[in-house]
Amino acid sequence: MDEAVVSNPANSSNRHIITQEQIDDILANELQAFTFPVKPVYNPRIKDNGRTIAEMYKWGQLKRIVSIDIGKQDEPDREFLVDTLLHEFYEVEILEKQYIDDYYRALSRPDSKRHAWINDKISRFFKRLEGQP
- pLDDT-derived band at 105 (thresholds 50, 70, 90) equals confident
Task: Summarize pLDDT for 44-91 with one digit per residue, the tens.
Answer: 999 999 999 999 999 888 999 999 999 999 999 999 999 999 999 999
Distance CA 18, CA 69 (A): 12
User: Of all helices (H) and strands (E), which one includes residue 104?
Assistant: helix 102-107
Select from 113, 61, 70 the least CA-distant residue to 89: 70
Task: Summarize pLDDT for 22-53 with one digit per residue, the tens.
Answer: 999 999 999 999 999 999 999 999 999 999 99
Number of domains in the chain: 1
Q: Is the peptide bond before 110 cis (omega within 30 degrees of 0)?
A: yes
Average pLDDT of the residues in 14-21: 95
Distance CA 18, CA 27 (A): 14
Q: Which domain holds residue 98?
A: 2-129
What letter does residue 12 receive in the DSSP assignment?
Answer: -
Select from 132, 14, 31 the least CA-distant residue to 78: 31
Lay out the sheet containing 41-42: strands in order across: 2-9, 48-56, 62-70, 41-42
